[in-house]
Amino acid sequence: MTDRLVFNFKIEQSDYSDSVMCMTFGIQKWKRYLILFTWIICLSLFVLSMAKVITISPTVYACTLLVVVIVGTAFLSVQINIFKYRKVYQKGRNIKRQIVVDDKGITFKNRSTEESGFNSWEEISRIQETEDQFIIGVNARDAVMLPKRAFLIEKDLDDFREIASAHIRARFMEM
C-alpha cells in the first residue's frame, strides 16, 4: 500500500453538477429519487386542490405547499449554480484540481486559483463510492468529488479504498 496518493485532474461540468446535487439533496440516489417522488405527489395534490378537483385539509394543503416551494426552490438554486459554473468552466478557470491523500487526511487544492484546504480523517464525515467517482463528505454540508478517471492505475484505486476504509471504517461506503 502507498502512504501518499496524489491525484491531478480537471473538474468537469458533471463533477460540479454531481457535487451540488449531493450537497443539496443527499449523496444516495434513492434519497434523491424519493425527494423527487414526494415533490411530484405534493405538486399534484396542490394543483388538484387549486383546481378544486379534490378537497384536502388545511394541514395537508400547508404541507404540500411547503414541500412544493422548498424543494422547487432548492432545485432552482442548484440549476442556477450549475449554470454559473458552466460559464466559468467555458472560460477555463477553476478547473484544475489536486487531491492528496495520506495518513493524516485529505488535502484539496484548486490549482487554478491556488486555494487549498485540509481535512483530517476525523473531520471526514463519510466517503461514498459511486460508479464514476468517490464523494468525500468533508462535513455535514459539503462534499468534494474525486472522479475515478483521476486514478491512472488500478493499484491507486485499490490503495485509496484501503486508506479510506482504514481511517474512516464504517463511514466508507463501497459500491
| Domains identified in the chain and CATH numbers | 4-11+94-173 (2.30.29.30), 21-90 (no CATH)
For residue 79, count other CB atoms closer than 10 A to its CB: 12
Segments in the chain below pLDDT 50: none
- pLDDT on residue 168: 84
- pLDDT on residue 95: 72
Alpha-carbon gap, residue 6 to 108, rounded angstroms: 10
For 71-107, what is each residue's pLDDT tens digit?
A: 999 999 999 988 887 777 666 655 788 999 999 999 9
Cell of 50: 387549486
> Which is it for strands 143-147 and 172-173: parallel, antiparallel or unpaired?
unpaired
- pLDDT on residue 71: 95
Alpha-carbon gap, residue 134 to 150, rounded angstroms: 11
Contact 97, 9 (CB under 8 A): yes
Instruction: State phi, psi for 17 to the nearest 5 degrees.
Output: -60, -45
Alpha-carbon gap, residue 56 to 49, rounded angstroms: 7
